[in-house]
Amino acid sequence: MTGGHSDQGDGALARRAVAGDRAAFNALVRRYQDPLYRFVRRYVGDADEAYDLLQETMVAAWQALGRYDPNRPALTWLRRIALNKCRDWGRRRAVRQFFFRAAPLEAAESSVAMSEPVEDANLARLDGAIASLPIQLKEPLLLTAFEGMSQQEAADALGLTVKAIETRIYRARKLLAEALKAAASNDEQT
């Protein structure tokens, strides 16, 4: 029953999954779990949180499979679900930090980064800087620079104009460069 799933298009797999073929849904999950994980990881800046959010995304996708349009790319649909899960996570995190005065996740990352190899520390620094960007700047940057969407596709996905996407990407890159420069100067001082 599982043979041949990798040859099928997203729409065919989705139709089979809606009809009760769990192996077809698992094939969709296997096909898109890596790019979705990378997207979520860059959004939240934490590997463990990203795995949890990826699982939440797949559960939500399974539950909403009947609403998926098989004529559209599954990755776009799944990325939209993941984006909503990331936004929910951000709101929950902000509430927890407000009420419990919890230390931000970036503080935990910086203490771990000391024992990581330089390349891993740089990647963690980049992930942390991206995760700390304001949502309205982070989302267009992630969708275009890391997910390979055109500015038009990102504009459609976020309900914005292409010009707004262009402006937000410019601002995001500027803030990102400033954050990375500040982090590098802090490292030199320590």
CATH of the domain at 128: 1.10.10.10
Closest CA to 29 of 71, 82, 72, 67: 82
183-188 long-range contacts, CB within 8 A, separation 24+: 183/125, 183/129
Range with the poorest average pLDDT among 22-31, 46-55, 91-100, 167-176: 91-100
**Tokens read off for 109:** 């990352």
pTM of the model: 0.61
- Domain boundary residue among 102, 135, 170? 102
Do 96 and 113 lie in one domain? The reply is: no
Do 46 and 125 lie in one domain? The reply is: no
Do 8 and 83 lie in one domain? The reply is: yes
- Domain boundary residue among 51, 83, 102? 102
Judge whether residue 108 has pLDDT over 70: no
Residue 108, CB-side half-sphere exposure with 13 Å CA sphere: 8
Do 75 and 124 lie in one domain? The reply is: no
Return the percentage of the chain with pLDDT > 90, whole number.
38
Do 76 and 3 lie in one domain? The reply is: yes
Do 70 and 15 lie in one domain? The reply is: yes
Do 36 and 25 lie in one domain? The reply is: yes
Judge whether residue 112 has pLDDT over 50: no
Range with the poorest average pLDDT among 3-12, 59-68, 76-85, 90-99: 90-99
By three-state DSSP, how is residue 102 classified? Answer: coil
Query: What distance in Å separates the CA atoms of residue 109 and residue 124, rounded to the nearest whole number?
Result: 7
Q: Where in the sequence is the domain holding 86, given as residue range(s)?
A: 1-102
Do 91 and 109 lie in one domain? The reply is: no
Do 173 and 150 lie in one domain? The reply is: yes
How many domains, in total, are found in the chain?
A: 2
For residue 2, give Cα distances in angstroms to 7, 23, 34, 66, 70: 11, 6, 20, 21, 20
Residue 41, CB-side half-sphere exposure with 13 Å CA sphere: 16
Backbone angles phi, psi at 73, to 5 degrees: -65, 135
Do 161 and 138 lie in one domain? The reply is: yes
Judge whether residue 172 has pLDDT over 60: yes
- Domain boundary residue among 75, 102, 129? 102
CATH of the domain at 71: 1.10.1740.10
